[in-house]
A and B are shown apart, each in its own frame.
Chain A
């Protein structure tokens, strides 16, 4: 069961998107709002940097997964 835990984000995502109906371009004024962007924003870059150096886990957030030392 523990091995299947990684499937939980996938299941959550599929569950939500199966109910989707086509959205027309003229209906996307909220989807196109700058706060609705999918992914980290430029101002979040320093924090995703220090979190990847201070924590064992990294990735799956559109940020860097290698390069740089974070030695100190």
Chain B
């Protein structure tokens, strides 16, 4: 009997010490890696309404993307949690329509985009959340710099969270125009340059190399999120955004052909745009193996577009380490009055585009997500925590069709 009592006391002490160890790990005060994600994606599409060729012509596109995401974490002695995140993304695409920036189809048909970002945040023990971040994105014809901040509050019982995020993007669009629509030689203060080639030639004939001008595009966005745990298996979030854009909002290499079939111009859109999306996300754990992830968004903007988005994803846990999630997303929008198909705009129109992004259409996105989280790590590599594979097929009523596959390699 004595032996049993001692064994029970021993086990109890062991149990307590294991908690103490977990506690010490949880409140580690040195900066340590919380999570590393490598997300790779492949996307391809076909369609016949390229905006580069005025709303007609191939939209064939292939894109390969890779994002490296590192999350670091530490606590201080007042139990405040600090998060530091670095991200580096590289995308490479080939596009059939891009070649037709030149009328002969001789332009470069590929592009590379590089986008690093850094974010810092603190979750204080009293529930206050503060954060700051910066990001940069560069591709041949487009550069973007952005700053963001975040302020939030988590309730004492951790069932309610309110969060506000502010973003400012300072972008520049390179005025790379279709070859036949480029302005002819311009003379400014003794310097002669031709925007068609981008070569700057001084009045004494000296070449200064490519100098294609650019134009600013600024975006200011605020996002308010209210998250609520409703029951022990049901939670939701309400997301309200407000976005203001100012500057050059057209794209300089998008052609528009008018109904006189005599003239073509570069698309022209207003230099301001205001967007108001409001979304609600509801997640429900049904029984022990099925989860319902539902999302709905209503969208309206100052360019006359109204849109509805609804999606449902149903993760099914086939085992504690493996889940399969079929998903379906439906999207529908009205047309902007600035849109008309190929050859249907009037030369009297103040604004004009044949970009089908602004047309009336609906789209469907259907696919499946596989998630593997083995106890001993993926391929028995302990740090390789999770592997996710996601495939979806996207179709628009405009005729655009696309396939998207993404992989997330998560290390913890």
Task: Indicate which residue in B232, B253, B309 contacts A31 across the interface (CB closer than 8 Å).
Answer: B232
Does A1 sit within 8 A of B, measured CB to CB? no
Assembled-state Cα–Cα distance A10/B221 (Å): 20
CB-based contact B280/A9 at 8 Å: yes
Assembled-state Cα–Cα distance A45/B91 (Å): 13
Does B281 sit within 8 A of A, measured CB to CB? yes
CB-based contact A54/B400 at 8 Å: yes
CB-based contact A72/B97 at 8 Å: yes
The interface bits of chain A over 4-25 (1 if a CB of B lies within 8 angstroms of the residue's CB, else 0) are 0110111011001101111111
A43-B231 contact given A58-B275, A61-B279, A68-B144, CB 8 Å threshold: no
Q: Which of B177-201 contact A (CB under 8 A)?
A: none
A30-B69 contact given A39-B281, A67-B146, A68-B144, CB 8 Å threshold: no
CB-based contact A55/B295 at 8 Å: no
CB-based contact B299/A36 at 8 Å: no
Q: In this complex, which of A13, A28, A42, A46 has the most chain B Cβ atoms within 10 angstroms of its Cβ?
A: A46
Count residues on chain A whose CB falls below 8 Å from chain B CBs.
Answer: 54
Chain B residue, CB-CB nearest to A13: B238
Which residues of A are found within 8 Å of B293, using beta-carbon distances?
35
CB-based contact A46/B228 at 8 Å: no
Q: Which of B5-13, B121-129, B255-263, B401-409 participates in binding chain A?
A: B401-409
CB-based contact B243/A25 at 8 Å: no
CB-based contact A23/B240 at 8 Å: no
Q: How far is the CB of B307 from chain A (nearest CB, A)?
A: 4
Count residues on chain B whose CB falls below 8 Å from chain A CBs.
Answer: 105
CB-based contact A59/B221 at 8 Å: yes
Q: How far is the CB of B18 from chain A (nearest CB, A)?
A: 18
Q: List 30 A-B contacts (CB under 8 A).
A: A5-B300, A10-B278, A16-B282, A17-B228, A17-B230, A23-B232, A28-B232, A30-B232, A31-B232, A42-B67, A43-B388, A45-B41, A45-B406, A46-B41, A49-B65, A51-B331, A54-B396, A55-B307, A57-B275, A57-B299, A58-B277, A58-B299, A59-B223, A60-B241, A60-B277, A61-B279, A66-B146, A68-B144, A72-B61, A72-B95
The chain B residues found within 8 Å of chain A, CB to CB, are: 37, 39, 41, 43, 45, 52, 61, 63, 65, 67, 69, 93, 95, 97-98, 111, 113, 115, 135, 137, 139, 141-142, 144, 146, 157-159, 167, 169, 171, 173, 219, 221, 223, 225-233, 235-241, 243, 245, 251, 253, 275-283, 285, 291, 293, 295-301, 303, 305-307, 309, 315, 317, 323, 325, 331, 333, 336, 357-358, 363, 365, 369, 371, 373, 388, 390, 392, 394, 396, 400, 402, 404, 406-408, 410
Other A-B contacts than A16-B236, A62-B223, A69-B251, 20 sampled, CB-CB below 8 A, are A12-B280, A23-B229, A36-B235, A38-B235, A38-B237, A41-B388, A42-B388, A46-B39, A47-B365, A49-B65, A50-B43, A54-B45, A55-B357, A56-B305, A57-B277, A66-B167, A67-B144, A71-B253, A72-B97, A72-B111
